[in-house]
Structure 1
Amino acid sequence: MQPKLKSKVRCADQEVGDVTKIIMDPLTREISHLVVSLNGAGERQVAMGLVQTVTDEVVQLRSSAAEVSALPPFKRDEYVTLHEVEIPHIEDHLHVSPGEVLVPFPELEKSVKRRTFFANLTHVIGLFIGLPLAFPVLKYLMKPMYAPFDNGWLKIGNIGKIKADDAGTQFKFKRKVKEAYLPEAEIEKNVWILKATPAVLEKIYQGKDMEFRDGTGKTIWTNKKDVPYIAFSGKCPHLGCGFKWRQHKVLGQVFLCPCHLSIYDASGTVLDGPAPRPLDPLPIQVSASGEVQIIDMEFKAGTKSQTRIV
């Protein structure tokens, strides 16, 4: 006779509780353990080898009450119910009254909490059901995020604003931007322009022209190494803060980021601080009348390599 759920459990010396769950071995398809509630003292997992006799209402154990209490506590998350697994005909071997009948959770999945596993499974199923409906909406909302970079030239002022060589001069400008599904907005940005001496140009270009490419690898502009005007993005490569051109008592005139004290010389080279790379040069062209145009670009902060994000 098989044990029944809610049967009383007696030890050699006293009654200890009742059967609350049945655990089956999915390979042998036999009952392997009983889960016994110890009259409010938690649940214990009792192997069938400890069962002496079974009647309609009582399960008699060979162990003492103290020995049963010393058994490891029952861990519900290590088991799943018969409704949550597909083991053919396992019910044919089960002859107990209806209740919670469990089988061990598969070994490879024990690191995943049972309820978390099935909750995640439900979410995945819901995702597949809802995706065809959500796709048009997501496509509309996310389209601006994956739009090609804007490589258009922006007029930002006249080179006559620069009064000295190898000295940073800030140029402010406004441009319209659109973030995801938000309305288009106009924001103020800035770049730093430098009229560089040959020594500074050599540090920046190292004898080679500087090419700028789009996402496909196509060259969109080349800064010539013998053109003295340099444009730097107005964001510090460390964490994207704005920086200033300042007089340093030891280093002389430098670009100084006040957020974390990164310091750069006129060529954009890092002199001190946590910045992982030099200042980011931008495409620049200057007309015969001195009008300055740039292609506005932004790069990922905090990385040694330069990765364009705008």
Structure 2
Amino acid sequence: MQPKITAKARCADREVGRISKVIVDPLSHEVSHVVVKEANGQGYERQVPVREIQQVVNEEEILLRCTAADFQQFPVLKRDEYVTIKDVEIAHLEDRLHVEPGEVLVPFPKLERDVPRRTFFANMTQAIGALIALPLVYPVLKYLMKPMYRPFDNSWFSVGNVQKIKKEGIGYQFKFIRGLKEAFMPEQKIEKNVWVVKATPEIQQAVYGGKDKKFYDEKGNVIWVNKATAPYIGYSGKCPHLGCGYKWRRTKNFPDGVFLCPCHLSIYDAAGRVLDGPAPRPLDVLPMKVDAAGEIKVIDIEYKAGVKDQIRLL
């Protein structure tokens, strides 16, 4: 039997509060703690390990092993150290736990607590693979194979205008529609996106290392060159880890923001460098140009996800 959110939490001597949230271990997919909001005036939320639950009396009440005085020794929840399963998109986990997405917490990368945690999230990614495989594999695999014997599409796509970009070093998303033909299937119109950053000299140096970046077709011919001094840099909208979509998000340690992939919590700075998480390489820079009217155009290149080297697929 699983207690409900809002179930009473009672010690041997008295009731101490109600369950307000649960914390899930991302490795085992099991609830590791219940968060009990105190019944007294202060209303602190305390993290209680599930091993301290002596009995689930019914869906509306749990009995803790400790006394009310001992309950006060459990740590107060530090909410900024967790994200909800809605944020990290662990598919259908809320159904398994019978709670709303906002009531289930998983640990936020320790980067936000000043301790790198790359190995942890690499392991976490493998562990939760079975849970998220169905919703993720299809959109990822959809683009893993280009039509047989078809050359790469090096067409330019207009995605928007630089007037949208108001500040340096911030990620701005631009969406566009393109056609995609797979093998013997009819061409389909799909929505894609790119992220564009107005680059500071520091970002330009981090991305290009002072050298222009060349892009090639399948025969090895140069199709475009991004100048190392170009004021705008465009990134593919797909995370290099598994091809998921990512977001620009402000955090405690990065008030201006970072790129965060919510599926497996890879984190990148404005230069696309991996700061934390399982991503094997930086964000993929796209061929990009801006005309005199400020219109942004990109070649929609896609690379194989999950590997260190850039292997072009589209």
Match of 2:302 in 1: 298
Structure 1 position 165 matched with structure 2 position 168:
yes
The question of 1:210 aligning with 2:217 is answered no
Partner residue of 1:149?
A: 152
1:157 Cα deviation (Å)? 1.0
| Partner residue, 2:184 | 181
- Measure how far apart 1:144 and its partner are: 3.2
Q: Distance in 2 between matches of 1:149 and 1:286?
A: 22
Partner of 1:261: 265
- Correspondence list, 1:191-270, <5 A: 191-252=194-255, 253-270=257-274
Of 288, 291, 299, 1:287 maps to 291
Match of 1:36 in 2: none
Return the alpha-carbon distance in structure 2 between the equivalents of residues 238 and 143 of structure 1.
Answer: 19
Deviations 1:132-178 (A, max 9, x none): xxxxxxxxxx9932200000111111111111111000000000111
Cα distance per residue 1:71-124 (max 9 Å; x no partner): xxxxxxxxxxxxxxxxxxxxxxxxxxxxxxxxxxxxxxxxxxxxxxxxxxxxxx
User: What runs of 5+ residues in structure 2 fail to find an aligned partner?
Assistant: 1-144
User: Number of residue pairs matched?
Assistant: 169
Taking the TM superposition and a 5 Å limit, the aligned residue runs for 1:34-49 are none
| TM-score, structure 1 normalization | 0.53
Secondary structure, in 3 states, of the residue corresponding to 1:160?
helix
Per the alignment, residue 45 of structure 1 pairs with: none
4+ residue runs of structure 1 moved beyond 6 angstroms?
A: none
- Alignment partner of 1:280: what SS? coil
Secondary structure, counterpart of 1:146 in structure 2: coil
Matched with 1:277 is 281
- Letter of the 1:156 counterpart: V
Residues of 1 paired with 2:302 and 2:146: CA distance?
Answer: 19
TM-score normalised to structure 2 length: 0.53
Identity of aligned residues (%): 62
Which residue matches 2:18? none
Residues of 1 paired with 2:227 and 2:186: CA distance? 38
Larger RCO: 1 or 2 (CA < 8 Å, sep 6+): 2
| Aligned counterparts, 1:133-148, within 5 A | 144-148=147-151
Q: Secondary structure at the match of 1:278?
A: coil
- The match for 2:113 is none
Corresponding letter in the other structure for 1:204: V
Secondary structure of the residue aligned to 1:259 is coil
Please report how far the alpha carbon of residue 225 of structure 1 lies from its aligned counterpart in structure 2 after TM superposition.
0.7
Q: Deviations over 1:223-270 (max 9, x none)?
A: 001111000000000000000000121233100000000000000000
Q: Where in structure 1 are there 5+ consecutive unaligned residues?
A: 1-141
Q: How does 1:10-159 map to 2 (within 5 A)?
A: 144-159=147-162
Deviations 1:17-54 (A, max 9, x none): xxxxxxxxxxxxxxxxxxxxxxxxxxxxxxxxxxxxxx
Amino acid at match of 1:250: N
- Mapped to 2, the partners of 1:143 and 1:200 lie a distance apart of 32
